[in-house]
Amino acid sequence: MLQRQLDVDILVTGHTHQFTAYKHEGGVVINPGSATGAYSNITYDVNPSFVLMDIDGLRVVVYVYELIDGPNHKKFQRLLGSAKKVAKMGLPLWMLGWGVDRLRADMSRLLAILFHQGVLDEQFLQLQQLQDESSPNFVSEVVNIYFHESEKLLRNLKGPICKTDGYCDCRLDRDFSDYKKMGIHLNQFMGSSSSIGANRVRNVCVAFRAASEQNNRAG
């Protein structure tokens, strides 16, 4: 059941197009007829076809309708094919920007959004300054290491605080006894997050540690 209507801006091949979308439990379905710009007159099927991107860093799933007819049919089909491949890799659609200059502009715009939302801080800029011609992939390599280590730290944190009964339904342990072990993992998580400028994650770790020290389960 549709809950509410909202507008979202989606960057398609380097150009921003505004869509009216409808928020569902578990996702947002785009109304393609509301699109502005070059693709506003294209006809789509009635069912959403694939996951496109997240919105504003939130775990919001966006689906796009499959193209069946209309102007620019072949061109848009190629775009959808590329978008599906990119979606499977977990990359947002704005990564489809044409050319290096446009891609850099798209990345700068994305970083500006992440800084504005407090997801990143100035430490990430310092990390970027360490990248040069001798290590052109330095930032991506460091971030990939951070993601890999974060997965392990989250698993380590899950052990002391959760019980899983064959499915993902985590419940707090009764005694919350292993504060010391949790504190070690949280400090590691905070340190690694601070080192790459993951400000929001670091702040969550700080709040989590404060809540655990106060035995505040709701926190």
Alpha-carbon separation of residue 59 from 26, 28, 184 (angstroms) = 9, 11, 28
What pLDDT score was predicted for residue 124? 93
The ranges of the chain with pLDDT < 50 are 1-72, 83, 86-87, 89-99, 163-175
Alpha-carbon separation of residue 184 from 151, 172, 173 (angstroms) = 15, 19, 18
Alpha carbon dihedral 43, 67, 98, 124, in 10-degree steps, equals 100
How far from the centroid of its chain's Cα atoms is residue 26's Cα? Answer: 15
What is the pTM for the complete model shown? 0.49
Tokens 């339904």 — which residue? 169
Which pLDDT tens digit goes with each residue over 148-205?
999 988 888 877 666 444 444 444 444 455 677 778 888 999 999 999 999 999 999 9
CATH number of 119-213: 1.20.120.160
Residue type, 84: K
Give the span between the Cα atoms of 39 and 37, in whole angstroms: 6
Domain boundaries, the chain: 4-96, 119-213
